[in-house]
Amino acid sequence: MIELKHISKYYEKNIKALDDVNLSFKEGELIVLKGVSGSGKSTILSLIAGLTKPSRGEVIVDTKHISKLADHFISLYRRENIGFVFQRYNLIPSLSVKENILLPLLPMKLKKEELERRVVEVTELFKIADKKESLVKNLSGGEQQRVAIARSNVNSPKIILADEPTANLDETLSLEFIAMIEELKSKNRTIIIATHDPLFFNLAFVDRVVNIKQGKIV
Amino acid sequence: MFLSPEIITVAILDTLIVLFATLAFVVALAIVKSWNRDETTTYQYTLEKRAYLGSIIIKYMLSLKILLFLFYIFTLDKISFVLPGAMCAAGVVNADSLTTPLLFLKLLNLYLFFYWIVIDKEDSEDEQQPYIKLKFQFYIFLYLLLIVEIFLELYTLFGIDVKSVVDCCGAIFSDKDGSYIAKVLEMPKEFLLLLFYGSFLFMWLSKGVQNRYLFSLSNLLFLLIALMSLIAFFGTYIYELPTHHCPFCLLQEDYNYVGYFLYAVLFLGTFYGMLVGIFPLREKREKSSYRYSLFFNTLYTLIISAYPLHYFYVNGVWL
Amino acid sequence: MTDKFNPYLFKYAYGVLLRSFSKNLFIFITLTLLVALLSATLFLSSSIKNEYTTRVSNQADIIITNQKAMQYRTFNLNQLQRVLNIEGVKSARGRLYGAYYFEKADKKLNIIALDEFESYSNRLLDETNTELEGASMILSAQAKNLLEEYYYKEYFNFIKENGSLRKVPIKGILKSKDIQKRENLILMRSELFRDIFDMDEREISDISVTVSNPDEVAFIAQKLEEIFPNAKIALKKDTLVVYERSYNLKSGFFLSIFIVSFFTFFIIIYDKLSGVSSHEKKEIGVLKALGWRVRDVLEAKFYEALLLSLGAYILGTFLALLYVYLFNGAILLDIFLSQNDTLHHVAISFTPSIASMILVFLLSVPPYIFATIIPSWRVATTDADEVMR
């Protein structure tokens, strides 16, 4: 259960990214935030992930007021609950697939066996198990996409956030991505996708489409 | 003015410490003045970030201070060679009437800095961050002590006069002088031993009753009495000389540097012990503090008792 | 007590260093060189000090030189007894030595008169394997060469005070490496010496005293001052202290140069790191988005700084050791020793000084880590969402 109450967000130089936004998401929902770049949809994702704090208002996730938490706890919250897929993947090219996938888990000091287990689990789920040891820079666009999604799932998050995930993909890869999202939806994850790619607007398994324009919901 | 490379090193590192400590001080002032959990303004977020800076600076400073403290003792020992009359650090310490209080201040500051870190941990593990203002108020006080300490340190180190003759520890730690050291040495040995083992027992008892204030107090007593008994009684068995009471000669090579080990154990044990009484700790940390305290203090007691016992075993008589 | 070590973050930090190798190379090399230079200086300094200490420790604890109106005079052997009477004196001995002015060459020939019990001369003798018979002498290589220059190959004519000549055959050459190669040294028997310089059989150049308990040296020196109020009483310890102080001064000088370069370096590091590449900012932003806390980022950055500075320290120290042992501290050593230093051409045995290594460590690793605190913190606390745009 995610709630954004009277959220406003200002950046330096008086850029108003969001203006008195109210939103709520139910568990297991798949929501598409529709809007052009700069409309504020990425900011909503950042707020839900706790990557930034609102200038005004509150963000509440499962009764936790995450906008008021100290960094220490927000990060823990994020580590346990959120999986993020970035627009440009943001993988580290000189590291291997496995190393990239494990990045979120490094501070947790888990046992080696546990880490191995999780890597195997997600690489198989997203079908890149055979490329585990390859360096990311040697992979194709589609393969990198799958690594990015795998990484976002390695901590078994309840909420998956995707920011313009298909902006740099051709249609085939975009469709592959949508298939993977469908798979995740079937596992009852709450999924929020910020995009202006029309491919997402008429999908059957999308629960809601929210329109955002110039920081306000329309 | 006597400038050895060691003194210059201490001076440089002290300068670094003062610089960063002052930065942390500025941060502390801002937080004590303006921190408010319920406001969600940008300024509060900036303060939160600055709190991290303060925290990390203080942690680094503590690590460096520990290293420097050891190095400082080592430097004192080395300088003793150049000062006419001094045989060990005791002579250097006595060369200036300020050096002895400085030593105590340094020890106190080490303890206090450690406490700060514990409070910091307790604070950051609680979502409400209940101690954030408190810990930085504490730091402001600590900062002032730190400045005094460093000022004294530099003042005394740079003021070492190689021409004035100092007493060697034999003269300082003798019972001829009217000083408080002499009074300690005049006490009957049996009484001191009684106090020593008594405070040790008191410590275990207060753990048994689970009263953290008593436990803390017993550790403080134990620390003071241990130091007194070390000078008056146990030290003589380490040196195997009934008139050698110096607490610094232990640190020298002749005695296998056992002084460093003994003092480390004693200070660690009493540090953890005093911690439980000063601050309401979370359960896990409180438990481990009790454990560490008892472990180190017992270790100290066993080892220090072994010296006279060993002597008696070998020689058949007491000193 | 403190957060336990996280090996994964450590490995990650190591990886980051390798990946941004070229960016860090300049810093790494400079730091290494600074460490190497400072270490070499301190090693040389402590080696020289040790060399002096060993040499001086062979000497007597106290040397009493007679003076009248602050001018040098010889002693009489009778006075030796007064010294021996002092409690705590292990032994006292009259020494006989001096110098002969070789006019033609305008050079001084240093002469030590041999006593059967004089340890210094005896050691030299042992090494030459020559018996010093009554009226002959043994020369150092330098002296031999000098005399040969003036065609004295088998003997030398000393001109005595009364103008007559004393011909002394040359028996052998001193091979000891203890002798400064530049010192024109001659050994001969006491009787011969006294004859050449017209000295009484009870005259001695000075008195050397050995004390049984080193802690009592100052005390005995005091007593000697009472017995010989005009004499100069030189303590072995004082010589050492003088050397120690003079080398401290020199080390201090080098250290100051080091400090200046280091502070400059500090500023450069700080400046460089503050301009953190957007690439790094992005990577950190990603990590934070993935769930890394500020403290995790700081921990990783700390490991990074630690690895780099520690690596530079180890490499720098190693280079310094190499330089000092393999190249015998060429160039730097000459700068260190003053012009007429007696150690100039002697093989100095180099001893690695742990104290120096600790000192250099304290002056390199912690300051570097401190220099990285603020840049690391800035990077670690950037709002991750800035990275998204």
- C 231-250 residues with CB below 8 A of B? 241, 244-245, 248-249
If one counts the domains in chain B, the total is 2
Whether chain A has a CB inside 8 Å of the CB on B53: the answer is no
- Same domain for B198 and B84: no
pLDDT for the residue numbered A192: 92
Last residue of a domain, one of B131, B158, B185: B158
C236-274 helix and C21-57 helix, angle to the nearest 10 degrees:
180
pTM over 0.80: no
Q: What is the longest distance spanned by two Cα atoms in chain C?
A: 105
Residue B168 within any structural domain of the chain: no
Residue B169 within any structural domain of the chain: no
Residue B87 within any structural domain of the chain: yes
Whether residue A51 and residue C283 make contact (CB cut-off 8 A), yes or no, is no
Whether residue C381 and residue B52 make contact (CB cut-off 8 A), yes or no, is yes
- Same domain for B270 and B190: yes
Query: What is the distance between the terminal CA atoms of chain A, rounded to a whole angstrom?
Result: 22
Last residue of a domain, one of B110, B127, B158: B158
- Same domain for B105 and B11: yes
Residue of A nearest to B45 (CA): A53
- Same domain for B150 and B34: yes
Closest CA–CA distance from residue A47 to any residue of chain B (Å): 14
- Same domain for B109 and B53: yes
The token duo for A27 is 């568990």
- List chain B pLDDT tens, one digit each, 319 residues: 566 778 888 888 999 899 999 999 999 999 999 888 777 677 887 888 899 899 999 999 988 998 899 888 888 877 777 676 667 777 777 666 777 788 889 989 999 998 898 888 888 887 777 888 889 999 999 999 999 999 998 888 887 776 666 777 776 776 665 566 677 777 788 888 898 999 999 999 988 888 888 898 999 999 989 988 888 888 888 888 887 888 888 887 778 888 889 999 999 999 998 888 887 888 888 888 899 999 999 999 999 999 888 888 888 877 7
- Same domain for B10 and B154: yes
Pairwise CA distance, residues A149 & A216, whole Å:
29
Pairwise CA distance, residues C267 & B248, whole Å:
40
- Same domain for B137 and B15: yes
C331, pLDDT greater than 90 = no
CATH code at position A28? 3.40.50.300
Whether chain B has a CB inside 8 Å of the CB on A71: the answer is yes
- A 71-130 residues with CB below 8 A of C? 71-72, 75-76, 78-80, 82, 84, 86-87, 90, 92, 94-95, 99, 102-107, 109
- Same domain for B202 and B123: no
Closest CA to B301 of B256, B272, B270: B270
Q: Which domain holds residue B280?
A: 175-315
Whether residue A55 and residue B48 make contact (CB cut-off 8 A), yes or no, is no
Residue B103 within any structural domain of the chain: yes
C6 closest CB neighbour out of A49, A80, A107:
A107
Whether residue B4 and residue C369 make contact (CB cut-off 8 A), yes or no, is no
- Same domain for B244 and B188: yes
Three-state SS string over chain C comes to: CCCCCCHHHHHHHHHHHHHCHHHHHHHHHHHHHHHHHHHHHHHHHHHHHHHHHHHHHCCCCEEEEEEECCEEECEECHHHHHHHCCCCEEEEEEECEEEEEECCCCEEEEEEEECCCCHHHHHHHHHHCCCCCCCCEEEEHHHHHHHHHCCCCCEEEEECCCCCEEEEEEEEEECCCCCCCCCCEEEEEHHHHHHHCCCCCCEECEEEEEECCHHHHHHHHHHHHHHCCCCEEEEHHHHHHHHHHHHHHHHHHHHHHHHHHHHHHHHHHHHHHHCCCHHHHHHHHHHHHCCCCHHHHHHHHHHHHHHHHHHHHHHHHHHHHHHHHHCCCCCHHHHHCCCCCCCCCCCCCCCCCHHHHHHHHHHHHHHHHHHHHHHHHHHHCCCHHHHCC
- Same domain for B298 and B235: yes
Asked if A165 and A4 touch (Cβ cutoff 8 Å), the reply is: no
Residue B145 within any structural domain of the chain: yes
- Same domain for B230 and B115: no
Q: Phi and psi of B305, rounded to 5°?
A: -75, -25
Residue B302 within any structural domain of the chain: yes
Q: Which domain holds residue A126?
A: 2-217
Residue B167 within any structural domain of the chain: no
A34: three-class secondary structure by DSSP: strand
Last residue of a domain, one of B133, B158, B183: B158
pLDDT for the residue numbered B284: 83
C333, pLDDT greater than 50 = yes
C385, pLDDT greater than 70 = no
Asked if A20 and A6 touch (Cβ cutoff 8 Å), the reply is: yes
Whether chain B has a CB inside 8 Å of the CB on C252: the answer is yes
Dihedral angle at the C-alpha atoms of C198, C204, C206, C210, nearest 10 degrees? 150
If one counts the domains in chain A, the total is 1
What is the value of ipTM here, to two decimals?
0.83
Residue B163 within any structural domain of the chain: no
- Same domain for B116 and B204: no
pLDDT for the residue numbered C387: 57
Dihedral angle at the C-alpha atoms of C219, C225, C228, C231, nearest 10 degrees? 120
Residue B316 CB burial class (10 angstroms; 0-12, 13-18, ≥19): exposed
